[in-house]
Amino acid sequence: MSDLTYSQVDRDILRAMQAPGRLYYVVFFANLLVLAWGIFAWQYTIYRGLGVWGLTHPVMWAMDITNFVFWVGIAHSGTLISAILYLFRVRWRASVYRTAEAVTVFALLTAGLFPLIHLGRPWFFYWLLPYPQGGGLWVNFRSPLVWDVFAVMTYMIISVLFFFTGLVPDVAVVRNRTTGWRHRFYAFLAQGWQGTDRQWRHYKAAYLFLAALATPLVVSVHSVVSWDFAQSVVAGWHSTIFAPYFVAGAIHSGLAMVITLLIPLRRIFRLDTYLTQTHLENLAKLIILTGLIVGYAYVVETYIAWYSNNVPEWQRFVYQVTGEYAVLFWIMILFNSLVPLLFFVKRIRTSTPWLFGISILINIGMWCERFVIIVTGLAHEYDPYSWGLFIPTWVDISITLGAFAWFFFWFLLFAKFLPVISIVEVKEELPPPMKSTGSEA
C-alpha cells in the first residue's frame, strides 16, 4: 500500500462509484423484486391478521423476533470495528470500517422494522413511544420492550451520526469531482468541508467523541435485547448469562457478515490493494475469539440447565437437543462454535474461499441460534398441555427474505453512491506527499 499516492487512492476508491454495469442492474432489480414480494407478504399480514404466520399459542414469537435479534446482532460488528478499534488505534481498521459501519446502519434499518412488523396492530406502533397525550397514557418502563425501543433508537441515531460524520471529508472529495444533482447531493453531505486545519481539528474531536459514545452501545444494545428474554419467566430464556452471551454472539455474526460482504466487494471493485488478505485475516482472528465466547456460553447454558436441578429447564434443554428443532440446534453448535475453530489454521484464514464459506455458515448458524433460543423456549414451556410447534408459512419466509432484500437494497445503493473505503483514513496510512526536491514546477 505504501507505494500508493493520494491521487491514486482517490481514483481507485472512487472508481467503484462509476456508472454501474449490467450485472449491477440485474442484481439490483432481482433484489428489488424479492423486496417487493416481502412487502407484499407484510401487507397481506396486516390485511388478514398475524394468523397467516406460523405462530401458534405457546410460540407467539418466532421468525419475527429471530430476524430482529439477528439484524441487531449484525449491526454490532460495525460499531466494534469503527468505534472500539478506533479508540484502540488499531491501524488495519481503516480499510474495512466504512463498509462495517454501513452494515451497522443498514442492519439497524432492517432490525428496526421487525418490532413494527411483529405487532398485532402495527398501525399503533407509536404507542410504544412516550409522548405527551391528553389521556395521560404512558409507556411501561418496566417492560423490556420499552427498553428495546430506547436502545435501538439510540443506537440508530448514534450510528447514523457516526457514519455521516466519518463520511464528510470523503464526500467532499466526491463533491469536487461531480456536477449537477450529484454535486448538490454530495455538497449537502459534505457540509461545506474545505479541509482547513480548523475543520480538521473539529472533525477529529467530533469523531473521537462519537466513537466514545458509540463504544458502550456495543455492549448495552444487545444486552438490552437479550433482556427481552432474560427478564421473562420462560425456562431457557430466564438466564443471567444472556447479556454477555448475546453481545458476543452479535459481534460474532456481525464480523461474519462484514467478511461475507467485503469479499465480493473487493473482488468486484478491484480493491485488493486496500482490502488485503491481512484485513480479512484479522477479522477471522476476531471471529475465533467471539466463536470461543459463544461456545463457552453454550456450555454454561447446558451446565446450568443440569446443575440447577430445575425440571422445566432441564426438560427444555433435552427438548432443544432432541426435539423437532434439534437439527437447528446442532447447526448452531457446529457453525457457530466448531467451524470457526478452523481459523486457527493459517492456511484457512488466509484463503478467500474458506473465509467466504465459513462466514456464510456463521451467518446461518447465528440465525439458527436466535431461532432455537426463542422458539424452543416457548414451544416447551411450563404447562405441558400447552406445548406447541411453530411451523413457518410462506409469509414468514417471504418477510424474512424481504428483510434480507431490504438490507441489500441499501447496501447496493451504498456501494454505488458512497466511497466504500474511507479515503481519508487510507491516506492517513500513507506517507504524506512531500514537496519534491526541486522538480516541483
Partner 1 sequence: MEVNRRDFLKIIGIGGATAAMAGCGTQPPESLIPYVVPPEEIIPGEATWYATVCRECPAGCGMLVKTMEGRAIKVEGNPDHPVNRGRLCARGQASLQGLYNPDRIRQPLRKGTDGTWGPTSWEEGEKVLAARLAELKGRGGRVALVTPLVTGSLDRLIDDWLRAVGGGSRLRYEAVSHEPLREANRLAFGVAAVPFYDLEQAELILSFGADFLETWLSPVEHARQFGAMRTYRDGRMGRFAYIGPRLSLTGANADEWIAVRPGTEGVLALGMIHAILAEGLATALPASEEAAFRRLVERWTPVETAEQAGISPDKVRVLARAFARSRPSLAVADGRTSNGTDICLAITLLNYVAGNVGRTVRFGPTAAAGRTSPYREMRTLLQSMEKGEVSLVLLAGVNPAFTLPEGERFRKALEKVPLVVSFASFPDETAMASHLILPDHTFLEGWSDAEPWDGIQGLQQPTMRPLYETRALGDILLSVAKQMGLQQQLPWEDFPAYLKEQWKGLHRQSGPAEDFETFWARALQRGGLFRPVPSRPVRLNPEVFRHRFEAPRFAGESEGLTLIPYPSPIFYDGRTANRPWLQELPDALTQIVWDNWIDIHPADAKRLDVSEGELLRVQSPLGHVELPAHLSGGVRLGTAAVAVGQGHSAFGRYAEGRGANPLPLLPAEPETASGSQPWIATRVLVTRTGRRHLLASTVGSDRPHDRGIIQTIPLAEVQRLRHPEKHPHLLQMYPEHPHPKHRWGMTIDLNACIGCGACVTACYAENNIPVMGKVQVAKGREMSWIRVQRVDEGASHHPEHRFLPMLCQHCDHAPCEPVCPVYATYHNPEGLNVQVYNRCVGTRYCSNNCPYKVRRFNWFMAEWPEPLHLQLNPDVTVRSMGVMEKCTFCVQRIQGGKLQAKAEGRAVRDGEIVPACAQTCPTRAIVFGDLKDLDSEVSQRSKDPRRYRVLEHLNTQPAITYLKKIIAGPVEG
* Residue 63 in contact with partner 1, rule: CB under 8 A: no
Closer to partner 1 by CB, 44 or 203: give it.
44
CB 174 within 8 A of CB 14: yes
* Residue 240 in contact with partner 1, rule: CB under 8 A: no
* Residue 293 in contact with partner 1, rule: CB under 8 A: no
Q: Whole-angstrom Cα distance, residue 171 to residue 186?
A: 6
* Residue 56 in contact with partner 1, rule: CB under 8 A: yes
Nearest 5°: the CA angle 158, 103, 325 is: 110
What's the closest the beta carbon of residue 239 comes to partner 1, in angstroms?
15
Note the Cα 431 to chain centre separation in Å: 33
Q: Whole-angstrom Cα distance, residue 339 to residue 365?
A: 10
What's the closest the beta carbon of residue 402 comes to partner 1, in angstroms?
20
User: Which amino acid belongs to residue 22?
Assistant: R
Interaction pattern, residues 179-218, with partner 1; x per rule: CB under 8 A:
----------------------------------------
Range 371-390, binding partner 1 (CB under 8 A): 378, 381-389
Q: Other CB atoms closer than 10 Å to residue 389's CB: what's the count?
A: 14
Closer to partner 1 by CB, 96 or 117: give it.
117
Q: Whole-angstrom Cα distance, residue 258 to residue 420?
A: 12
What's the closest the beta carbon of residue 328 comes to partner 1, in angstroms?
19
Closer to partner 1 by CB, 127 or 344: give it.
127
Q: Whole-angstrom Cα distance, residue 362 to residue 295?
A: 13
Interaction pattern, residues 387-406, with partner 1; x per rule: CB under 8 A:
xxx-----------------
Stretch that binds partner 1, among 225-233, 258-266, 348-356, 433-441 (CB under 8 A): 225-233
* Residue 233 in contact with partner 1, rule: CB under 8 A: yes
* Residue 311 in contact with partner 1, rule: CB under 8 A: yes
Long-range contacts of 342-350 (CB under 8 A, 24+ apart): 343/284, 343/285, 343/287, 343/288, 343/291, 344/288, 349/280, 349/281, 349/284, 349/285, 350/277, 350/280, 350/281
* Residue 144 in contact with partner 1, rule: CB under 8 A: yes
Closer to partner 1 by CB, 288 or 318: give it.
318
What's the closest the beta carbon of residue 370 comes to partner 1, in angstroms?
15
From 34, 55, 102, 420, residue interacting with partner 1 (rule: CB under 8 A): 55
Q: Whole-angstrom Cα distance, residue 7 to residue 326?
A: 55
Element holding 46 (H helix, E strand) = helix 22-48
* Residue 154 in contact with partner 1, rule: CB under 8 A: no
* Residue 125 in contact with partner 1, rule: CB under 8 A: yes
From 165, 178, 220, 232, residue interacting with partner 1 (rule: CB under 8 A): 232
* Residue 234 in contact with partner 1, rule: CB under 8 A: yes
* Residue 25 in contact with partner 1, rule: CB under 8 A: no
Cell of 226: 437479550
Q: Whole-angstrom Cα distance, residue 438 to residue 214?
A: 47
How many C-alpha atoms does 88 have within 13 Å on its Cβ side?
11
From 57, 89, 198, 435, residue interacting with partner 1 (rule: CB under 8 A): 57
Alpha carbon distance, N-terminus to C-terminus of the chain: 27
Element holding 269 (H helix, E strand) = none
Instruction: For CA atoms 219, 225, 229, 232, give the dihedral sign.
Output: positive
Binding-site size for partner 1 (CB under 8 A) equals: 49
Range 65-124, binding partner 1 (CB under 8 A): 118-122, 124
Q: Whole-angstrom Cα distance, residue 244 to residue 251?
A: 11
Closer to partner 1 by CB, 51 or 433: give it.
51
CB 348 within 8 A of CB 413: no
What's the closest the beta carbon of residue 131 comes to partner 1, in angstroms?
12
Closer to partner 1 by CB, 230 or 259: give it.
230
* Residue 128 in contact with partner 1, rule: CB under 8 A: yes
Residue 237 vs residues 155, 225, 253, 307: alpha-carbon distances, Å: 24, 12, 20, 16
Q: Whole-angstrom Cα distance, residue 214 to residue 217?
A: 5
Judged by the rule CB under 8 A, the positions of this chain that interact with partner 1 are 48-51, 54-61, 118-122, 124-125, 127-128, 137-140, 142-146, 149, 228, 231-234, 311-312, 315, 378, 381-389
